Amino acid sequence: MGSAAKIERILLVDDNKTLSKLISLKVKSELGIDIDIAHSLSEAELFTHKYSYTLAILDLNLPDAPNGEIVDVMLKKNIPSIVLTGSVDKEFRKAMLKKDIIDYVHKGGIDDIDYVIEIIKRLLKNRHHKVMVVDDSVVFRNQMKKMVGNLFFQVFALAHGEEALLILEENPDIKIIITDYNMPVMDGLELTKAVRKRYTKNQLSVFVLSSSEDSDISAMFLKGGANDFINKPFSKEEFSCRLNNAIEGLENIDALTNYSHRDFLTGLYNRRHFFSVMNPYFSEAVARDEEFVTAMVAIDDIKSTNHDFIDSAIIHVSEILRSNVEYRDMIARFDGEEFCIVLKDTGREKGFEVLDYLRHKVASSPLLGSMGEEIFMSISIGAIVDHEDSLNETINEADAQLHLARTAGYAQLSII
């Protein structure tokens, strides 16, 4: 797997000082990344001796390198590069695109500068995504690995579908699979169908690359669950655009899904998502005799005429709860100042320990008021270890225990 590049510093090489200043200002203001400006190849060389760069923006016509020599120099130093040039020569452009550059952009105006900024933003996001390349040709597989890696994705490169499924099992967060059709052991169509049994098109994108000109093949793949089909040979620019568009589409779907599952104020899961996830868990846990603790939590005496304070208090407590339970556990905001927590694979003793810790943690962690004053709060907790016949009944019983805890006074824990 190729490691994702981390952009810490950008090198801009352009002899147009006005344009260089404009690009530099945009990079700093929109991306918050340090950028150095060189106006010649020799200046660029000096910068590369002083700093380590993970991205360069290069003009091809420099006083001491008029024919794009800067590109080879940067690539030899393993610095991924975006070419920004005024040249409109098609053959020269074609020759540059054969090199391992990220993109070739014609600098015709401010829109092209904005496009470069968008490319860098996309690269920053790509670092967090995993892509799998599956092809039995070692040469083509390595070419694709390099091409995808140049877009800053984390890359897995495999020889056939069966191997790909094993890696997918270990890395369920892979977002894109790029596969060939004809492969030994398991071909691309079999792999696509196997992937679709686990992931929808909105969760994982499958790209098929094939030298077959048979239109029936592409239709067969698209019906089998592929998101896209590209005939070999293909344009590197077109492929890069399609790949970036695919990951952006998945990000947008994830954002919308996440928004619908989350409470707008705290970022915790909402009640609706809680039940959609926990009902299946409840049935499975009961079937395998797994212990779990269901708890209802409420902030004590939160009444106030200041709605901003109430919101701040709810956010403050939610952050304490979220940061002090295990990742596997489920926590959701139900309504107002009430939360529900399910501690998975947890018995009575451990459950009491965790919930009691949460109670003390909230009590000892004051919220800072608008004047810098410390405002102390408390929570009451009702919990049940021995589940009822359904999740809803179990939560109702936990809620009854919460009522008993609050009746006994503030900052109480009642668990049965």
Distance CA 253, CA 319 (A): 26
Residues of the chain with CATH 3.40.50.2300: 9-123, 128-260
Q: Token pair for residue 285?
A: 């846990």
Q: Tell me what the pLDDT averaged over the chain comes to.
A: 89
Q: What burial letters (b/e) apply to 373-386, b meaning 16+ CB within 10 Å?
A: eeeebbbbbbbbbe
Phi/psi at 210 (nearest 5 deg)? Answer: -150, 145
pLDDT in tens, 239-276: 999 999 999 999 998 888 777 788 888 889 898 899 98
Q: 269-415, what's its fold? A: Alpha-Beta Plaits (3.30.70)
Which CATH number does the domain 9-123 belong to among 1.10.600.10, 3.40.50.2300, 3.30.1540.20, 3.40.30.10?
Answer: 3.40.50.2300
**How many angstroms separate the Cα of 283 from the Cα of each of 271, 358, 391?**
18, 27, 8
Identify residue 51 by its one-letter amino acid code. Y
Q: Token pair for residue 113?
A: 């500068």
Distance CA 189, CA 217 (A): 9
Quick check: 53 and 79 in contact, CB under 8 A? yes
Residue 4 has pLDDT above 50, yes or no: no
Instruction: With cut-offs at 50, 70 and 90, classify the pLDDT of residue 3.
Output: very low
Instruction: With cut-offs at 50, 70 and 90, classify the pLDDT of residue 2.
Output: very low
Note the pLDDT of residue 127. 93
pLDDT in tens, 100-159: 999 999 887 788 889 999 999 999 999 999 999 999 999 999 999 999 999 999 999 999
Residues of the chain with CATH 3.30.70.270: 269-415
pLDDT in tens, 317-365: 999 999 898 888 999 999 888 999 999 988 889 999 999 999 999 989 8
Note the pLDDT of residue 305. 52
Which CATH number does the domain 128-260 belong to among 3.40.50.720, 1.10.3720.10, 3.40.50.2300, 3.40.50.150?
Answer: 3.40.50.2300
pLDDT in tens, 361-394: 998 988 887 777 888 889 999 999 988 889 999 9
Q: Compute the chain's Rg from CA coordinates.
A: 28
pLDDT in tens, 220-242: 899 999 999 988 888 888 899 99
